Every structure is written in C-alpha cells, then in structure tokens.
Amino acid sequence: MNKKMVPEVRFKGFIDDWEQHEMKNVLKKQYNGQTPSRSKSSFWNGTIDWLTSGELNRSIVTRTNEKITSNGQKNANLKIIPKGTFVIAITGLEAVGTRGNCALLGIDTTLNQSCMALFTDEKKLSPKFLFQWYRKYGNEYGIRYTQGTKQQSYNAEIINKLPINLPTLKEQKVINLLLSKVDIAITLQQRQLDLYIKLKKGLLQKLFPKDGEKVPEVRFTDFHGDWEQHKFQEILDKNNGIRRGPFGSSLKKDLFVKNSDYVVYEQQNAIYNNFHTRYFITKEKFQELIKFELNPGDFIMSGAGTIGKIAKVPNDIKKGVFNQALIRFRINNSIMDGRFFLQWMRSEFMQRRLTSSNPGSAIVNLIPMSELKKWTVIVPKRDEQKVLGKILNKLDSTIALQHEQLDELKSLKKYLLQKLFI
C-alpha cells in the first residue's frame, strides 16, 4: 500500500495527497544577473538597486548595499526583477553560511551573477510558498544536488530537476499566511531586542566617564564629586584577587572521570554566561587543585580565543575548578559592588583596555595580568556603584528575556517548517 503524500501537521479541511513535481513543471523561467564593470565609475552609485547573494537574508529584502546607474544596467544587460519574486544563491554553496540562502524581494532590483530569480507558474506554485519551502529544504538540497568539487553551485538544468511536493494553491495560501505571521512576529521581536541592546550600549557610554574624564556625562542627582582613583589590584581581594587557570598538564582530559561531585569550568562558561559543565574530576584531583576552586560571587573571564568575556559565578554552582583558559577575579567588597564590577568590566572602554593588538599584527591578545594589576582606574563610591549595577543588571535581565522570546519564536518556526511540509 502506497504511503499517503501528506504532511504530519495539516489544517482542517485539507485531505488530498500532495503532488510531487520537478521544479521545471512549476516554474515559468529563471534568471540570474551580472556585475557591471567595476572599472567604470559611471556605472555605480546610481538609483537602481543591485542585489548580491550575500544580501539574501532568508527573509524579505528591502534594500541593497550598492546601487547602479542606467548605464551600468545597460552594460551588464540587467533586467529589473519585480518585488515579490523569489531569489536564491546559486554559487558558493560549499559554505554553510551561503548554502540555502534565499529571499523574497520587497523591492524591484537587479541581481548579480550569484543570485537566481525563480519565476513560478502561479497557477501551480505561489512564490511565497516556494520561499517557505526552500527555507526548510535549501540547505539539504545545496548539499545533495549541487555540482562542483571545491566550489559548489546550481545551474538552470539542476534547478529544473529539483523535486518539490506541493498541495493545492488554496492550502499553500493557508500555510503561507501562518508562516508569514510567525515571520512578522520574529522580525518585531528582533527589533525589540535590538532596541534594548542599543539602549544598553548608549547607557554604558553615558553612565561611565570617557577617557581622561573623572565624571560621567549622565549622573543621578544624589551623587557628586569625581570618581575615585585606584590601582586595579586595590579593587580586588587582597589575598586572592586574580588567578589564571592551572597549566594544561595539570588538567588534561585523560584525568577526567565519567562522573563525580567535582566539575571543571571552561571558557564557554564565561563566554555564554552559562554554568553547565561537561567534565568531572575526582575528589583527590579537586583537593590537589584547590587554589583554582570557583566560589559563588567570583568572576571568570575568557583568556584565550574569544577573550575578555566575563561572567559572575552564581550561588548554586557545583564544586569545581576552572581550567587554563580562564582567569578568576575576586573583588574587594569594601570598595566594589559585584553587579557594578561586572558591568564595568563588560563596558566598551574596559574591553578596549583589556584587549590589545601586537604591533604590526591583527592578533588580539589579553593584557598580561601582571600589567593589569598596576592599572590606574577610576570608580565611583560604592553607593553609586550599587545604583548603577542594579539598573544595568535589570536591563540585562530584560535583554535576556527578549532573547528567550526570540528563541521561542524561532523554535516555533522551525517546528512548523518540519511539520507542515513533506
């Protein structure tokens, strides 16, 4: 008995099998563009949009990075592709970031040679449905059907042979409507998140003094006077302020055990502000490395690769030690407020100071800890720190909530793409 061609989740009222087609049976034509000569300045900086594959955002394209003139359009014999057309990337598909890239045009535009517009037979296939379908299958098809060894690409012949399963136009319309609403919700949520991130960045610039200044540009009315000058080591615990993780040989993976009450904290804990762990050590190894123990209220900073990312150790962590890729700070609580210290260390001006480039090199390094201790820094009195730390911490919580809501919407979209198509 043949398996019915129906999706796992379906809207009420639709019972017919979906039909399998080759793309050539549901497309009217295909078109890919070109690049006008770069040597002719008269071809560029005009008023005609010109779209590249790198701008295909798996959403709706509403602007292009470059524009061409009518002379540039004539030089490359480019057609204006109308708003509402579905476009895919056809070259560079060996790269994960390019494979599956697509967009619906929200503007009339010309294309470069790495983009292909697919014009559907709208009696059989809606461009919006094709767009949603490709967002599910584009990556998989980019692996399975492209040609080339080093550089993988589509051509018109390959695209014509791609298989696609289709419901009736009426069912396509219902699926489009639902997925479009989810896309709009994702877009609005992303904008909301971006606004909060921008607000946080602006506050950090205003609430902390600029280089060479001793007071911030914006300040709460109860606080006056210059911020206080300290050596960096003075704001840390006198006996155990800074410690780098143990030498790699002291904490190699072959020393890890399958399970125990003692864990190893890694760079990813600081980078992602997440204290889930992967590795365990014995009680004996923990005792041997006791000076590298992490305690609630400590701060850890990434010291290799992605450097300078800092997180505060929460109260409910498992007993454990930090590895060689981390630096641990303990603050002097009589001078520093913990929430303020975290925000201060994450601020743009502190991150600039913490990371530096070798002369003549693009390699970014973390400043040596021996140098860091000798830094002269300025901080407000602890009462003002507490106010600033509380406000910025609340904003961080709001940003985290916005991230969670965005992730939930993206998970919903992924689920729907998996269940509504075959």
Quick one: pLDDT at residue 94? 86
Place of tokens 């590298």: 292
Quick one: pLDDT at residue 26? 98
| Model confidence pLDDT, tens digit, residues 177-194 | 999 999 999 999 999 999
| Model confidence pLDDT, tens digit, residues 39-84 | 999 999 999 999 999 999 999 999 999 999 999 999 999 999 999 9
Contact by Cβ (8 Å): 125, 172: yes
Look up the pTM and report it. Answer: 0.84
Whole-angstrom distance, CA of residue 363 vs CA of residue 416: 43
Dihedral angle at the C-alpha atoms of 169, 170, 173, 174, nearest 10 degrees? Answer: -140
pLDDT at residue 277 is higher than 90: yes
What is the band of 2 on the pLDDT scale with cuts at 50, 70, 90? low
Point out the least confidently predicted range of 138-152, 198-212, 322-336, 396-410. 138-152
Q: Alpha carbon of 207 to those of 99, 232, 301, 375: distances in Å?
A: 43, 20, 23, 21
pLDDT at residue 335 is higher than 60: yes
User: What are the structure tokens assigned to 368, written together?
Assistant: 């040596």
What is the band of 305 on the pLDDT scale with cuts at 50, 70, 90? confident
User: What are the structure tokens assigned to 134, written together?
Assistant: 């490709």
Average pLDDT estimate for 264-279: 95
Average pLDDT estimate for 311-317: 95
What is the band of 98 on the pLDDT scale with cuts at 50, 70, 90? confident
**Element spanning 32, H or E:** strand 27-32
Contact by Cβ (8 Å): 169, 124: yes
- DSSP H helical ranges for 258-381: 267-271, 283-288, 338-346, 348-354, 369-374
| Model confidence pLDDT, tens digit, residues 215-243 | 999 999 889 999 999 999 999 999 999 99
Quick one: pLDDT at residue 360? 46
DSSP secondary structure string, 51-63? E-GGG--SSEE--
pLDDT at residue 318 is higher than 70: yes
DSSP secondary structure string, 162-197? -EEEE--HHHHHHHHHHHHHHHHHHHHHHHHHHHHH
What is the band of 306 on the pLDDT scale with cuts at 50, 70, 90? confident
Dihedral angle at the C-alpha atoms of 81, 87, 88, 92, nearest 10 degrees? Answer: 30
Contact by Cβ (8 Å): 338, 261: no
pLDDT at residue 1 is higher than 50: no
| Closest to 345 measured CA to CA, from 315, 296, 298, 311 | 311
The Cβ-side half-sphere exposure at 197, using a 13 Å CA radius, reads 10
- DSSP H helical ranges for 28-168: 70-75, 127-144, 156-161
Average pLDDT estimate for 346-352: 87
Q: Alpha carbon of 86 to those of 49, 378, 402, 421: distances in Å?
A: 16, 55, 30, 18
Using DSSP's 3-state secondary structure scheme, residue 397 falls into helix
Taken in order of first residue, the domains within the chain and their CATH numbers are 19-166 (3.90.220.20), 225-380 (3.90.220.20)
Contact by Cβ (8 Å): 32, 158: no
pLDDT at residue 352 is higher than 90: no
| Listed ranges 280-284, 306-310, 368-372; the one with the highest mean pLDDT | 280-284
pLDDT at residue 196 is higher than 90: yes
Whole-angstrom distance, CA of residue 76 vs CA of residue 174: 39
Contact by Cβ (8 Å): 280, 266: no
Q: What sign has the CA pseudo-torsion 108, 111, 115, 117?
A: positive
